[in-house]
Structure 1
Amino acid sequence: MQQVLFYLSITVVLFTLIPLIRHDFWIFRVFEYPRLQKLVLNLVLLVLNLVYFPTDTLKHIVLILLILNLLYLVYQVFPFTIFGKKQIITAKAPADDRNISLLIANVYQDNRQSESYLKLIKKCNPDVVLMVETNQWWEQQMDVIAAEYPHQLKVPLENTYGMIFYSRLALRNGSINYLVKEDIPSIEVDVQLKNGQWVKLYCLHPEPPVPQENPRSTERDKEILMVGKSAKECKLPVIVMGDLNDVAWSYTTELFGKISGLLDPRRGRGFFNSFNAKYFFLRFPLDHIFCSADFALSGIKRMESCGSDHFPMCVNLQFNPKVEQLNEQPVADEADLELAQEKIEAETEN
C-alpha cells in the first residue's frame, strides 16, 4: 500500500508539472486538459497518505509535494469557479435588438440523432447556429431549418472537420478559409445585429494534439493564434466560436486571449465542460465562445446531450460599447507577442 500511494502521488505531481514544458508534442499538451480531475485525485491521495502512509521522512516529503501541488491546482482552477473574477460583466438590460444568441454543437459525425438537434435549435431559438463534424448527411438533415435560417455557409466534409453555419441575421463578406491545412476549414463572416451593428465572427475547429489525429499541437496553436491576431486588428466587434480542441485554461488559450484582447464568459461563472458527454469524470471545456470587450453577457448555458460526445453550448451576448471599461481586458506583453508570432510562423505539415 505504501509503495502504491507513493508512486500514485508522484505520478499526479508529474502530470501537473509536464504541461509546464512548452513543447508541441502531444504528451506535453494533453495533461493540460484534466486540471479538475488532477485536483480531485490529489486531494484523495493527500487524505490516503495521511491515513495509511507510515510516519517517516518519506511521508513528510510526499505530503509536502501533494500540498504544494494541491495549492497550485487550486490556483489554476480558481478563475473558472464562481468565486473567480468575471472577465465579462453580466448585461443589466434585458435582451433587445443589440443581442446575438449563438449555438455551437459538435454533432459527432457518426451520430444519427439529428432530430435531437432540431429540437434543441427550436428550444434555444438562436440567431446563429454553428455545427461541426458535419458531412453531407448532416447537411441534408438540417435542411429543414433553411427557411428560418436563410443565410448560410456550408462546407460539409467526410473527415470530421466539416462545418455548417446558419444565421437568421444578415451576413456579408462570408468566406471559407483553410488557414493551416488544406482539409481543415474555418469560417470568417460579418453578421448584422438587429440594430444594424455589424459583428465579425470567426468559426474554428482545429485538429486536437492526440496521436490518432496529430501528434503535435503546432497546427492547432497556429490556427488559433492566427485568428487571435486577426481579431485584434479587426475594427468591428468580434466573436470567436468553435470546438478549439483546447481547454479554456491552457497556455495557448491564455496566449490567444492576450493577443486578441477577447474575453471568456466562463471565467468567474464555471467550467461549462462540453466534452466528454459520455464520461462524467473525463470532461473538459473544449467548445468556446470568446468576444471583444464591447459585449456584456446575457446568458451562457451548456445544453443537454444530443447523442454526441460533446454537449452543445448556447451563449447570448449583448453589444454595448459602454461596458468596455468595465470588462477585464487581457493584455499581451512583448514576450507574449513574440511567442505568438513564433507559433504563427512555425513549420507545419500539410
Structure 2
Amino acid sequence: MFAILTTLTLVTVCLVVVTVLPMTRITHWFVRDMDFPRFQIAVVAIVLMVAQSVVLDAHHPLRWLLAGVTLICLAVQLWWILPYTRLWKKEVKTASESDPSQQLTILTSNVLTPNRNAEALIDLVHTHKPDIVVTLESDQWWQDQLAVLETELAYSVKCPLDNLYGMHLYSRLPFDEEEVAFLVEDDVPSIHLRLQLRTGDNVRMHFIHPAPPSPTENTSSSERDSELVIVAKSVAETTEPVVVTGDLNDVAWSATTRLFRKISGLLDPRIGRGMFNTFHADYFFLRWPLDHLFHSDHFTLKSIQRLPSIGSDHFPLLTTLVFTPINGADQVGLACEADDKALAQAIADDQQVEKHDVPLH
C-alpha cells in the first residue's frame, strides 16, 4: 500500500507542476509547451481521481488531500478547454443569410514541406471550391505542383522557402496592397493584403505562421508571442473588416492566444462549437488546435470544419464566413484590461517590434 500511495502522490505532484507552470510568464519552450496538452492532462486528472478513490482507504487523510488537489487541477484545465466545446455559448453567431456574394471561404493548410501528396490538397480545393487557399511550409516543389490551381484561383502571392516557413496564397477574389513581411524573424514570413469581396467591400487579411518555442528552434516563445501581439495591436485600431488566419504554433486555449484575442478584439468561431484539432494528424491521442482563424464582428459563421488528411502532420481547416456587419455587430469577444495592454507592450518591446511593422497598419 505504501508503494501505491507513493506513486499516486508523485503523479499528483506532477499534475500540479504541469498545471501551475503554464500559469506563469516563463517563456522557455518546456513551460510553454505545457499549454498544448490540456485536454490530455484533464483526462489524466480524471483517471487519477478514480484511482485515488478506488485504491486508497476512505479513512486515510492523504486520500482526501490528494483528491482535492487533483480536483483543483482538473478544474483549472477545464477552465481553459471548456469554451472549445458545445457546452459553451457560441462567440460567433451562425449565419442566417445564404447570399453567396456575402460568403468568404478560406482553406488553411500546413502542407509539411517533405510531404509530396499535393494531389490530395488539389482534390480538396476542387471539391470545396474555397475563395482563398493559403499553404504553410510550402517550398518551390509545392509551388510547382499548385500551379494548376491558378486557372481557378487567378490571384496569388508566393513565398517559397525550404526552411519550413514557406507560404503561398491563391485567391478567387481580387486583392491589392499585398505584401510579404518578415515581422520578427528574418526567415519567417507573413502575408498581408486587402481583399475585395463579391459585395465590393474590402477585408484586411493577415496570414501568419510564427516559429514555435521548441528545443530545435526558438528556446523561448518570445518570437512567436511578439508576432501575435503586434498583429493584434495593429488590427485593434481599424474599423475595417479583418481576418487573421494561419498556423500560430500555439493552441487556441493558451494565455498568448487569449491575449491576442483580447488585444485585437477579434472573434473565435470555434468558441461553443468545438476544438477542431488540426495537429497531429498521425496521432489521435495527441491532437490540439494549432491552425486558427479569427475575424472581426463584421462576419458571422456559415461553417467550420477539419478536412481529411493530405499526408501532412496537420489537417487542413475550411471556414466559411458571411459578411453581415449589421447582424454581427453585437458579437462580443474577450474584454481587454489595462494589464493586458501592458503585458502586450512588454512582449513587443522584448523583441523590439511594434504594430507599425505590420503592413496595412
TM-score, structure 2 length as denominator? 0.94
Indicate the SS of the match to 2:213: coil
Q: Kindly state the Cα deviation for residue 57 of structure 1 after the two structures are TM-superposed.
A: 1.7
List alignment gaps of at least 5 residues for structure 2.
354-361
Instruction: Give, in angstroms, the shift of residue 326 of structure 1.
Output: 2.7
Unaligned runs of 5+ residues in structure 1 are none
Residue in 2 that maps onto 1:276: 280
What is aligned with 2:346? 342
Q: Which residue of 2 aligns with 1:235?
A: 239
Task: Write the deviation string for residues 69-113 of structure 1: whole angstroms up to 9, x where unpaired.
Answer: 122222222211101011111101114201100000000100011
Q: Tell me, yes or no, if the aligned pair for 2:301 and 2:321 is still in contact at 8 Å.
A: yes
Verify: 1:177 aligned to 2:181, yes or no: yes
State whether residues 93 and 328 of structure 2, in contact with CA within 8 Å, keep that contact through their aligned partners in structure 1.
no
Measured against aligned partners, the alpha-carbon deviations of 1:159-206 in whole angstroms (never above 9, x if no partner) come to 000000000100100000000011000000011111111101000000
User: Which residue of the partner structure matches residue 26 of structure 1?
Assistant: 29
CA distance in structure 1 between the partners assigned to 2:352 and 2:100 by the alignment: 44
Cα deviation digits, residues 24-71 of structure 1 (max 9, x gap): 111221101111111111000110111112441222211110111122
Q: 2:190, 2:76 → 1: CA distance?
A: 35
Identify if the C-alpha distance between structure 1 residues 101 and 308 changes in structure 2 by more than 3 Å, giving closer, same or farther.
same
The percent of aligned pairs where both chains have the same amino acid is 40
Aligned-residue offset at 1:348: 6.8
Is it true that 1:187 corresponds to 2:191 in the alignment?
Answer: yes
The answer as to whether partners of 1:218 and 1:348 remain within 8 angstroms in 2 is: no
- 8 Å Cα contact 2:110-2:312 kept in structure 1: yes
Alignment of 1:300 onto 2:310: no
2:114 paired with 1:100: no
> Separation in 2 of the partners of 1:147 and 1:310?
26
State TM-score, norm by structure 1: 0.97
Q: Which residue in the other structure is 2:356 paired with?
A: none
In structure 2, what is the Cα distance between the partners aligned to 1:208 and 1:218?
9
Query: Counterpart of 1:149 in 2: which secondary structure?
Result: coil
Equivalents in 2 of 1:347, 1:330: separation in Å?
25
1:146 is paired with a residue whose SS is helix
Q: Is the 8 A contact 1:219 1:348 kept in 2?
A: no
Structure 2 equivalent of residue 42 of structure 1: 45
* Residue of structure 2 in register with 1:209 after alignment: 213
**3-state SS of 1:288 partner:** strand
| Paired AA for residue 136 in structure 2 | V
User: After superposition, what is the alpha-carbon deviation per residue over 1:229-281, rounded to whole angstroms, capped at 9, x for unaligned?
Assistant: 11112332000000000011111111111111100000000000110111111
Query: For the Cα contact (< 8 Å) 1:86–1:328, is it kept in 2?
Result: no
- How far the C-alpha of 1:329 sits from its partner, in A, is 2.9
Q: In the alignment, which residue of structure 2 is the partner of 1:4?
A: 7
Q: Which residue of 1 aligns with 2:79?
A: 75
Q: 1:300-334 deviations in whole A, cap 9, x for unaligned?
A: 00111110000100000011111233312323111
Secondary structure of the residue that 1:226 maps to in structure 2?
A: helix
Secondary structure class of the residue paired with 1:257: helix
Please give the per-residue CA displacement for 1:187-230, whole angstroms capped at 9, x wherever unaligned: 00011111111101000000011111111100000001111111
Distance (Å, rounded) in 2 between the aligned partners of 1:159 and 1:53: 52
> Runs of at least 4 residues of structure 1 off by over 3 A?
none
Question: Which residue number corresponds to residue 151 of structure 1?
Answer: 155
Match of 1:142 in 2: 146
Q: How many residues align?
A: 349
| AA matched with 2:29 | W
Q: CA RMSD in A?
A: 1.3
8 Å contact kept, 1:22–1:28: no
CA distance in 2, matches of 1:159, 1:262: 30
Q: Distance in 2 between matches of 1:103 and 1:74?
A: 29
